[in-house]
Chain A
Amino acid sequence: MSDTKKLAVIVRDRQGEALRMSLGLVLADDEVTVYNLGAPIERNDDNNLNIESLEMMDCKLFSVNQADEGFEQINMQQVPLKLLEYDHVIAY
């Protein structure tokens, strides 16, 4: 495959599936960025593993919640400006 695409995943209420899908999206060698706009990510084995794997794959993680360790903080006013950078924005 060629021509890397930039994909943004917006995490809302189904955190586990959103993170699982985000990790899966790197399989086509695209650039994946995760934005958590909902509640702080619930820390459980699955979510921790997915977050750790996303970090290993050089995916960027942003959150509006200070409680989200490993995520770069962002405020809601910055989010729409960032989203303009992406080929696809996937709200989950």
Chain B
Amino acid sequence: MSKLGILLNSDKYRDDVVGVIKAAKAAGHDVDVFMMDDGVLLAPDVSSECSGEAQFAYCDHSAEPRGVKDVEGATAGSQYQNAVMMHDADKVVVF
């Protein structure tokens, strides 16, 4: 089983992100998603729609000024979660 990492730093590609997560999971891959910058704006929506299909974390430093907090199904963290995702992933996609 391979691990796909998804760095989400924009809120422009919501449907693409959901599609890739679902397709990767259906193909038997693990998926990690880290959201930062404007990407955190999609955290509630994407983590809800793809619940159980990926591990979600977001940068609290980006989330706080954008009014995003306490996202169900996602871990509020720091750039450490991003570093670990990059380290563990076999491939990374940036949206």
Q: Give the residue of B5, B9, B80, B89 whose beta carbon is less than 8 angstroms from that of A24.
A: B80
Q: Which residue of B lies closest to A92 (CB)?
A: B9
A12 to B89, CA, bound (A): 23
Known A-B contacts A1-B87, A90-B7; the reply to A21 vs B94 at CB < 8 A is: no
Is residue B37 contacting chain A, with contact meaning CB distance below 8 A?
Answer: yes
Decide if B86 is an interface residue (CB 8 Å cutoff): yes
Size category of the binding interface on chain A = 10 to 19
The interface residues of chain B lying within 8 Å CB-to-CB of A5 are 86-87
Given A1-B87, A30-B87, A90-B7, A24 and B82 contact (CB-CB distance below 8 Å): yes
Q: Would you list 29 pairs from A and B whose C-beta atoms are within 8 A, ordered by A residue?
A: A1-B84, A14-B9, A14-B37, A17-B9, A17-B36, A17-B62, A21-B9, A24-B78, A24-B82, A24-B83, A25-B82, A26-B83, A27-B79, A27-B80, A28-B80, A28-B83, A28-B86, A28-B87, A29-B87, A30-B83, A30-B86, A88-B5, A88-B86, A88-B89, A88-B92, A90-B86, A90-B94, A91-B94, A92-B94
A-B pairs, 3 with minimum CB distance? A24-B79, A28-B83, A28-B87
